[in-house]
Structure 1
Amino acid sequence: MALFDLPLDELHRYRSQSGEPEDFDQFWAKTLAEARSHDLDARFEPVTDTGLSTVDVFDVTFAGYGGHPVKGWFILPAGTVEPLPVVVQFIGYGGGRGLPHTHLLWPAAGFAHFVMDTRGQGSGWGGGDTPDPVGSGPAYPGFMTRGIDDPASYYYRRVFTDAVRAVEAARSHESVDATRTAVVGSSQGGGIAIAVGGLVPGLAAVAPDVPFLCDFPRATTITDRDPYREIGGYLRTHRGRDAAVYRTLAYFDGVHFASRIRSPALFSAALEDETCPPSTVFAAYNACPADDKQIEVYTFNDHEGGGPFQDAVKLRWLPQRLAAG
């Protein structure tokens, strides 16, 4: 696959044309206030039959958007005594929290690890345990167009709210030092991490890899790969709804959340990525005003991005941001 997007020097200068809604902050303040009207009710149930001896695993349930129960895993290095930094992870599109033994990287590095299940997903891979009890109008198959005619009903309003509450649940555990919280994720998980980075103050680090859900006006017209193509498929049938759809998407565009990130940030992009085109990733990165930010670029990779090489970068980068003050 050849490089198909802007040259690297232009990527570093690229700015999105996504327009920010005037009531963006009010919309999200109201959304989160409504969610916080429900008791967080974070429950951590020990799991003893994992076959794992170097970690302690907890099956988590907490109240997300609308007070709906959301599942997760909480994994600690075995025998943890003092409060630890916590890495909160969000999952890629179509996946669920899976099984605990697939989430050992961050506990092996000495951190507490909280993995949020994504509501309604987890049947494409990974296995999920969190339903989405909210319906929507007609939608194209997938999740991208569920409730897309109105920001109030859009699917990612619920997901991003769940993610903010996941951070609050992770911080509520006695084994966590809440002042040392990082959010991470790849693809959809990276897009969710960016949203949380813009909505939750005081994070120690934000690390999105090849993030999805950024720069919708460009993403939906530069690539014909799913999941972005779901939006084109919807508009192909629902002719004339373009303006309403892009108005909704503006409330969920990673570019606007990134512009509110002040925490240290580590992005990554792949220049042959046709799923999350590099210009859409750079749109979010370039919008981020954090003083401590960097982006790793993988020239000859598609949506797998840096994979384990990017994990190695994060294993060097995160401990410096999560070190005790």
Structure 2
Amino acid sequence: MMKHFLSFLLLFASVSISVSTQAQPVERLIKVIVGTDHDNWTYRSGENVNFSVSVFRNGNLLKDVRIRYEIGPEKMPATKKETITLKTGMTTLASGSMSTPGFLRCIVVAEVEGKEYRGLATAGIDPDKIQPAVENPSDFVSFWDKAKAELAKVPLDAKMTLMPERCTEKVNVYHVNIQNFRVGSRVYGILCVPKMEGKFPALLRVPGAGARPYAGDVRTAERGVITLEIGIHGVPVNMDVSVYNDMMASNLSGYWAYNLDDRDRYYYKRVYLGCVRANDFLVSLPQYDGSNLAVTGGSQGGALSIVTAALDPRVKWAAPTYPALSDMVGYLKGRAGGWPHIFDSNNPQNNTEAKIKTAAYYDVVNFAKQMKVPCFYSMGFNDETCPPTSMWAVYNSITAPKELKLFLETGHWTFPEENELVSNWLMGKLGK
């Protein structure tokens, strides 16, 4: 019994982390608090930005603490660096201004008793005016229309296996796999279906980066929504977490760059089409109400939410959180690009014409331009995985009805309140 309980806890932990890709910061003895002199952390181009720094221990300012800081555009070389001692435990750092839209970041590290403690704040400079760096291929729509037409010719071949140990009084839980964009290629996931009589709306949950097991969204299904939580790598999603760790250390290491020089063979083609195929399965279920379908996810899942909503007209609502794969070529234009940072200074091998062209067919910016359904978009300014410059390039490209909720100090993680807002928005749209 204890062995099964511990296995469940490990699985639950992995699923919880998958929602936001990176766990919420752990409380530490020394707290380095960085803020700006504007409550909304937002400035106009050319306006001076002042960062406030406070270092606390036991709720009190820590006197005579040594810090080092650096200030500069996010993900770019710092324009200002210094090491100073805070006599009172606090100070204000004048950083100057930025003449173009973007984000200016201040990172502070305090050294206390041989340990380092870190804090940061990021100022948005006219974020509403950030324009994408990525080009939109002239045949972008026809490329994906052709891919979807080819997908439609492949039999669904859906297989469902009931998981009695995960079923509840109100929900049946299945491990499912369906055929993807070619015969033999599969998409796996956890399906949760309400047991009660009737027809129900459906929600597709798309995953963050990496590989892991999934538990399925039983809680939402208990509210009367069919849910399908999928993986993207064509392997079962109910194996031990060690199997996925081994995969990420071997054949899936760096999967986001596989075949980047060929738009027809790039890794994410099967991923994007797999999301559409997951919807093919959802709408085929006899319990589906035939009308109401939504998609949501964070990070890579945020990207896949937008991609799926753009590719699949059956989707009525999308709720992406801090989307990855956004304006990825930003680095080649002297500013931050989106995860997986395939064009940053650490990856000079990717700066080729073929790879840059391929990336444009998979960049979330170009899918955002195609979206026609309402979108609930949330993110933070301190995200160091999915830089806000890249995420704003996407948001500013959406012409469909959209709502934005900012959680300024969050990095690549979410507050419970943010998760609650996303859930409430989705349930409201799905009539639950």
TM range (shorter): 0.7 to 0.9
1:289 CA drift (Å): 1.1
Q: Which amino acid aligns with 2:291?
A: T
The 1:113/1:97 distance shift into structure 2, 3 A limit, reads: farther
2:409 to 296, 300, 319: 300
Residue 208 (1) aligns with residue 320 (2): yes
Deviation track 1:67-115 (CA, whole Å, cap 9, x = no partner) reads 31211111023x2211111110001000334234xx3342243311111
Residue 75 (1) aligns with residue 192 (2): yes
Deviation track 1:217-245 (CA, whole Å, cap 9, x = no partner) reads 126765599x5245547743x37x43221
- Percent of residue pairs identical: 25
Name the residue aligned to 1:134. Answer: none
Question: How many Å separate the matches in 2 of 1:119 and 1:83?
Answer: 30
Structure number with greater Rg is 2
Which fold has the larger relative contact order, with Cα–Cα distance below 8 Å and residues 6 or more apart in sequence? Answer: 1
Name the residue aligned to 1:290. Answer: 400
Q: Which amino acid aligns with 2:364?
A: G
Name the residue aligned to 1:114. Answer: 228
1:143 CA drift (Å): 1.4
Residue 281 (1) aligns with residue 391 (2): yes
User: Does the 8 A contact of 1:88 with 1:183 survive in 2?
Assistant: yes
The 1:200/1:213 distance shift into structure 2, 3 A limit, reads: same
User: Does the 8 A contact of 2:187 with 2:234 survive in 1?
Assistant: no
Q: Which amino acid aligns with 2:256?
A: M
Residue 44 (1) aligns with residue 167 (2): no
Question: How many Å separate the matches in 2 of 1:254 and 1:124?
Answer: 32
Q: Which amino acid aligns with 1:193?
A: S
Q: Which amino acid aligns with 2:269?
A: R
Structure 2 SS opposite 1:246: helix
Question: How many Å separate the matches in 2 of 1:257 and 1:124?
Answer: 34
Structure 2 SS opposite 1:74: strand
The 1:109/1:51 distance shift into structure 2, 3 A limit, reads: closer
Q: Which amino acid aligns with 1:323?
A: G
* Length, aligned pairs only: 308
Residue 56 (1) aligns with residue 172 (2): yes
Residue 84 (1) aligns with residue 192 (2): no
Structure 2 SS opposite 1:303: coil
Deviation track 1:142-165 (CA, whole Å, cap 9, x = no partner) reads 112100011111001110010111
Q: Structure 1 length normalisation: TM-score?
A: 0.85
User: Does the 8 A contact of 2:327 with 2:337 survive in 1?
Assistant: no
2:293 to 181, 184, 201: 181
Q: Which amino acid aligns with 1:73?
A: I
1:262 to 356, 362, 372: 372
1:140 CA drift (Å): 10
Unaligned runs of 5+ in 1: 132-138
User: Does the 8 A contact of 2:326 with 2:337 survive in 1?
Assistant: no
Unaligned runs of 5+ in 2: 1-32, 36-73, 75-101, 104-122
Alignment RMSD: 2.9
User: Does the 8 A contact of 2:293 with 2:317 survive in 1?
Assistant: yes
The 1:124/1:243 distance shift into structure 2, 3 A limit, reads: farther
Residue 245 (1) aligns with residue 245 (2): no
Question: How many Å separate the matches in 1 of 2:219 and 2:416?
Answer: 11
